[in-house]
Each structure stands twice: as C-alpha cells, then as structure tokens.
Amino acid sequence: MFRRIEITEADTVSVLIEGREFEVPAGISVAAAVLLCGFRKLRTTPVSGSPRLPYCMMGICFDCLMNIDGVPNQQACQIEVSQNMTIEYQRGAADLLRQE
C-alpha cells in the first residue's frame, strides 16, 4: 500500500542531527527526517526524563518538540527540513529566557 518515493541526490538536503550529518529528502518534516535517520527519541519529558517520539505528526500532541537551529520548543512535525539545519533533542523543559 505505502511505498517510498524514489528520489535523486538533487532532491535531498544535508542536516545535522545530534551532531551527525545526514542527507534527507527535501520537503519532509524535521520529525519525519529524524525518524528516517533511525533516531528513537526526539525529546525527553521534564519530570521523569522519559523518551518521546512524534505521535500525531500534525501539530496537535506536542510530543515532537525539538531544538531546531538553536530555538527550543519547535514542533518538529510542522517544520520542513532545510539545507544545513541543526536539529537536537530537547532534554526536559527548555529555558526560554535568554541569558545575556
């Protein structure tokens, strides 16, 4: 029923996930890219540190929060990958106040 669409190298972008470089299909969400690259968590919960993966993939559940290009609390399922994007797990609650 489902099958992967064949892509060419021109249809990919290079992203950095947890410090490792990956080529992923252009046009997919950050959450899909992280799952495609074999990662088994996107964030950990603030209280227990339990790992979380995307649940709904449409922006409702907030289980896909990640740190994307240095900005915490980004819904990875709602953001399209871009060339040289930096993607990191969100560990617990993100500090939204900048320390200057």
In a domain, 3, yes or no: no
Q: What are the pLDDT digits (tens) for 18-74?
A: 999 999 999 999 999 999 999 988 888 888 888 888 889 999 988 889 999 999 999
The CATH number of whichever domain residue 33 belongs to comes to 3.10.20.440
Tell me what pLDDT residue 8 has. Answer: 65
Question: DSSP of 49-88, one letter per residue?
Answer: --EE--SSSSSSS-TTEEEETTEEEEEGGGSB--TTEEEE
Domain count, the chain: 1
Answer whether residue 100 is part of any domain. Answer: no
Residues spanned by the domain of 18: 14-89
Domain assignment of residue 78, yes or no: yes
DSSP per-residue codes, 22-54: EEEETT-BHHHHHHHTT-S-SEE-TTT--EE--
